[in-house]
Chain A
Amino acid sequence: MNGAPLLSVEDVAVELPTPRGPLRAVDGVDLTLGAGRTLGIVGESGCGKTMLSRVILQLLPKKARLSGRVMFDGQDLARIDRERLRKLRGRSLAVVFQDPMTSLNPVLTIGTQLGETLQEHLEFDSVHARTRSAELLAAVGIPAPEQRLAQYPHQLSGGMRQRVAIAIALSCEPKLLIADEPTTALDVTIQAQILDLLAREQRRRHMAMILITHDLGVVAGRTDEVAVMYAGRVVERAPTPSLFRAMQMPYTEALLAAIPKLDAAPHAPLPAISGRPPDPTRPLKGCSFSPRCRYAVARCHQEKPALTASRSTDHHYACFHPIQLAAGADA
């Protein structure tokens, strides 16, 4: 990652007004992503992953208040005018959503939905757009693409639909693809295929990708860097191998422990993380994970740990008692 990164999110916070008071969905997040790199964002439901992706796409709810900067390709997305932003979306920034059932328009044919983007951004004529659409469908592994163009989303299976959604996202050769839980709504057998497809297309097009998921297993082999989010904050950020070799944050460890193991004895209880994430409208004084953390001490409840680098410079974590030290103390 030399030179200016493609995307840098600097001290971004999002506040949503709710009847119970302002809700901090994203709280002081810093991230950078170089061209052609993959960043995994992991965390449980409601931790701000999706809101963070909406920040990057500037698709926040109208009432949301955003602070911080989102630098993409040298411009601050939060401050450029709407027309420039509109041209950037689709052209340089693309997104694949969680549920292909709802992210495709049910009453338009696949061909129309694919061709429209091409005609709008690349100014293709309709014939050219049609042949290009068929090529794109073939590229994402859809058989008989010519016939598929005339079909409606409900005539395709879930995996096929997600392939179509990916084809639409890839159609204008974006520089950054945000995949927001692209496999959560799909069959387990299809999941790996879709993730492999994303990885293959990413390599081929040299685009950067943000892979948002709640499954550490998904990011393990497919990302360069992982950011673990909890209660709107990034609590651990490290290159993927470093994260899995030496995770520092108790939350990351708990997340990993909660993945069912194939070799576990039948009916062995799954180690779930007890308790619930803190109420985002009532921020805690100390570390937001402290009420659920088994290593927590008095200081954890009083002070918020900052995201700091450890021995290796690029492994960041926000914890007073990283696991390695806690384990050492136990021994």
Chain B
Amino acid sequence: MATLELAIQEDVAAASARQPGRLGVLFWIAIGWMALVFAVAILADLLPMPSPTDMDMLERRGPVSVEHWLGTDGLGRDELARLIYGARISLVVGLCAPMIGLVIGGALGMVAGYFRGRFETLVVGSMDVLLAFPPLILALAVTAFVGQSILNLTCILGVLGIPAFMRVARAATLTLARREFVIAAQALGATHARILLRELLPNVLLPLVAFFLLGVAITIVAEGALSFLGLGVPPPISSWGSMIGEGRESLDVAPRLAFFPAFAFFLTVLAFNLVGDTLKALTDPRQGAL
């Protein structure tokens, strides 16, 4: 009898746990890269590195050396330090901006998709207006108007992300709200708030989180583009985009100045996309059981 019970327990445990071997090498490389970027970004102040803003006019575009691992840039600043401090900006903006979109857009989309009616028309209409603006032009105009700062940049990119999150949340809610388990919840006496938060949110969250990781990648690129155009973070602070922008001036003599941040950029965005896709496939408890 005891052995029988044990067998059942093992069976159940095996069914609910997922084997880590299935994730593949690429996923772990991506996780490793993300962990490295996060670690150095967080620990940037503690690392034994030259300051990212100290200029050394005697050693402009210095080559790779023991003192400067990745050389120095056009103003003699340490390239590695700038890359690491740049990661901070890229990650902060890249994570916070989609968060704004996720929370506001997700809430609007769910409420619109659940209650329908006039509110939905209003939300969808205003989002269409926002989408109709060319995003980069809008970002440029707003930055020029309210000034350059990390907070402003994050807010602009965040607001620009709201319509996309709203659409994902609304589309998911529309199909889910017609499903029988929502009617069943109503039949069991659930309130609207309860249905939205307990029944629908866990379902809608899956596509939203997958989209969030994609949004992080897109935002890092957008922040890079704005910085490249000189409208991102204000000058002494480095970000990957502004580093590529500055490196452009010396592409012929020192191409690595544009190449290093671009490569970091490429790897990070790729890592986010890879992890996002894998997690999406993995955390979906519906797994074809629809």
Contact = CB atoms under 8 A, between A and B. Distances in A.
B16 A150 contact: yes
Contacts of B181: 102-106
30 contacts: A57-B187, A86-B189, A86-B191, A87-B189, A90-B187, A93-B187, A99-B180, A101-B290, A103-B180, A103-B181, A103-B183, A104-B184, A105-B181, A105-B202, A106-B181, A106-B203, A106-B286, A107-B202, A107-B203, A107-B285, A144-B8, A147-B8, A147-B9, A150-B12, A151-B16, A153-B289, A154-B286, A154-B289, A165-B184, A168-B188
A23 B9 CA distance: 53
A155 interface: yes
B183 A59 contact: yes
B177 to A, nearest CB: 12
Nearest to B187: A95
Contact of A121 (B179, B184, B189, B285): B189
A203 to B, nearest CB: 23
Contacts of A233: none
A241 to B, nearest CB: 32
B235 to A, nearest CB: 47
A213 interface: no
B189 A90 contact: yes
Nearest to B179: A102
Interface in A105-140: 105-108, 116-117, 120-121
Interface in A67-118: 86-91, 93-95, 97-99, 101-108, 116-117
Given A97-B180, A97-B183, A144-B8, A105 B199 contact: yes
Interface in B3-18: 8-9, 12, 15-16
A68 to B, nearest CB: 20
Interface in B38-54: none
Contact of A95 (B12, B179, B184, B190): B184
A147 B184 contact: no
Contacts of A152: 285
B206 interface: yes
Contact of B285 (A95, A154, A165): A154
Contacts of A104: 181, 184
A59 B12 contact: no
B186 interface: yes
B202 A108 contact: yes
Classify chain A: how many residues form its interface, as a range. 35 or more
Interface string B90-123: 0000000000000000000000000000000000
Interface in A303-331: none
Given A104-B181, A147-B9, A154 B189 contact: no
Contacts of B187: 57, 59, 89-90, 93-95
Chief secondary structure at chain B's binding surface: helix
B285 to A, nearest CB: 5
A108 B285 CA distance: 9
A117 B187 CA distance: 11
A166 to B, nearest CB: 12
When A and B form their complex, which 7 residue pairs have the shortest distance between CB atoms, in order from nearest?
A: A154-B289, A90-B188, A90-B189, A89-B189, A103-B180, A147-B12, A102-B180
B286 A107 contact: yes
A95 B184 CA distance: 7
B65 interface: no
Nearest to A178: B187
A146 B203 CA distance: 24
A104 B184 CA distance: 8
B194 to A, nearest CB: 8
Contacts of B19: none
A104 B182 CA distance: 9
A196 B203 CA distance: 33
Nearest to B191: A86
